[in-house]
């Protein structure tokens, strides 16, 4: 049986880990195909993030897509874990786990 103290600690740990995952609309500013990183900015804000997208699941209108297909779009939905790190000498703001694109005729 879980004690009350351990239960509170578990709930607190879950809340903290869930807070680190961001998911919202971004404007796609730049892509590096060799190391699969993206530069995005918040909509409507101005905050910019450099994200590692090498392991991200990429979907366009609900169908799997390739990383290089992202070049065709300017607005994307990104789910990422915000954490500072470095890759190929570039400081990262997080790691993308999912990138979704909905074209206007298939907007969901």
3-class SS of residue 69: helix
Domain 21-106 belongs to what topology?
OB fold (Dihydrolipoamide Acetyltransferase, E2P) (2.40.50)
- The pLDDT of 27-48, averaged and rounded, is 93
Q: Is the pLDDT of residue 68 over 70?
A: yes
Lowest mean pLDDT among 1-5, 57-61, 86-90: 1-5
Q: Which of 6-10, 43-47, 58-62, 97-101 shows the lowest mean pLDDT across its residues? A: 6-10
Check whether 70 has a pLDDT greater than 70.
Answer: yes
CA-nearest of 53, 50, 30 to 91 is: 50
Q: What is the pLDDT of residue 44?
A: 86
- pLDDT at 17 (0 to 100): 46
Average pLDDT, stretch 46-68?
A: 95
Sign of CA dihedral 45, 77, 83, 41: negative
For residue 83, pLDDT over 50 is answered with yes
In the predicted model, what is the mean pLDDT of residues 81-96? 94
pTM above 0.95, yes or no: no
Long-range contacts of 17-24 (CB under 8 A, 24+ apart): 20/81, 20/82, 20/83, 21/79, 21/80, 21/81, 21/82, 21/97, 22/78, 22/79, 22/80, 22/81, 22/82, 22/94, 23/77, 23/78, 23/79, 23/80, 23/98, 24/77, 24/78
């Amino acid at each position: 049986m879980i004690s009350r103290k351990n239960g509170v600690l578990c709930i607190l740990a879950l809340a903290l880990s869930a807070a680190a995952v961001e998911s919202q609309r971004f404007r796609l500013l730049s892509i590096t195909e060799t190391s699969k990183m993206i530069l995005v900015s918040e909509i409507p804000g101005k905050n910019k993030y450099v994200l590692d997208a090498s392991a991200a699941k990429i979907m366009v209108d609900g169908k799997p897509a390739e990383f290089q297909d992202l070049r065709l779009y300017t607005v994307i939905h990104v789910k990422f874990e915000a954490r500072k790190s470095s890759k190929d000498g570039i400081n990262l703001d997080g790691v993308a786990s999912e990138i979704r694109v909905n074209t206007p005729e298939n907007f969901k």
